[in-house]
Structure 1
């Protein structure tokens, strides 16, 4: 049996969630510039003034609509990290969430969207870089029984890993490149595994 919100706070949260869900769909389909508050309100079945009351502006609505849960911290072990990265890529290739699709569609035309994407990718690169450095430190420490030198390329390798995955995601999900469009996600991740494995390992 379906339960309905009973208190005013419950009803407000339910309405807010419905507005956000409709906004994600519209931002994903049209991008930031061509999505209007009026269209979001109509899709959610509310007055445009209520959308503004809840979110203040289209910019704030967009920011809330595309927020994503933080990814789990990658493991320091090289194979575990690689498996984590390829699993995440496989999920994206299987179909981007509306919020992520909206952000990627808008980032080339909207500076705030580009900044939001950049910040998110910088955080991801930093996390992977720390994991790569920790993995390299563990390997060196076990091999030589002494404190290893820091890996100067950990962040660069992390950036190359992330941008490779972003490129594959954009080509497959947003651009629909003919060579990628109909290829199963597991085939793409299998072919990318050796390249990413080379980046996970410290350069000799």
Structure 2
């Protein structure tokens, strides 16, 4: 064991191992979907024993749900113009680097109830944040439209691999969407 490795606490080694398992599970769920991803494949990719994956997560279902819950999403807030900029920044980031946790859920949501529930829960939280930031009577509808557009862009680029969308710079996509998002959030009014 290296000197640095000897200094790690048992809890820190466990956190790192769990993080490695989650990262590899997210990658495999995104690439193959829920049905075709196995605990053995996740364990092999993470460099651990399949029993350790089961020890930490209990089942493939719980591993998948842990991946789905690990998707980063901070709160949206402020004036509509700030919200638009935050959304565009997040979108550009997910265009530049494939968002494997989100893709794992999106790829699997049509065939696996747990994935569908996780996607619905995450989307509902995001829509509620958006709706709270939109000063309009139909804020819920506007938030749902924004959510659908952004999900569609991510799906088109990373899963469907639509050529023009796949090859366009993230900044160009963000700037093309800016007027639409400004209109839907009320930032242009």
TM-score higher than 0.5? yes
The equivalent residue for 2:89 is 87
Once structures 1 and 2 are overlaid, which stretch shifts more, 9-18 or 20-29? 9-18
The equivalent residue for 2:162 is 177
How many residue pairs get matched? 186
User: Given the two structures, how large is their TM-score scaled by the length of structure 2?
Assistant: 0.89
Indicate the SS of the match to 2:134: helix
The one of 60, 64, 73 equivalent to 2:76 is 73
> Closer, same or farther in 2 for the Cα pair 1:19/1:194, shift >3 Å?
same
Q: Which runs of 5+ in 1 are unaligned?
A: 134-150
- The C-alpha deviation readout for 1:129-162, integer Å capped at 9, x for no partner, is 11113xxxxxxxxxxxxxxxxx320111111111
- The C-alpha deviation readout for 1:65-87, integer Å capped at 9, x for no partner, is 23223323222x12111111111
The equivalent residue for 1:145 is none
2:13 pairs with 1:11:
yes
Which has more radius of gyration? 1
Alignment check: 8 A CA contact 2:31 2:104 kept: yes
> Closer, same or farther in 2 for the Cα pair 1:124/1:2, shift >3 Å?
farther
RMSD: 2.1
Separation in 2, partners of 1:177, 1:104: 16
Alignment of 1:81-120 (within 5 A): 81-120=83-122
Separation in 1, partners of 2:126, 2:51: 37
User: Given the two structures, how large is their TM-score scaled by the length of structure 1?
Assistant: 0.83
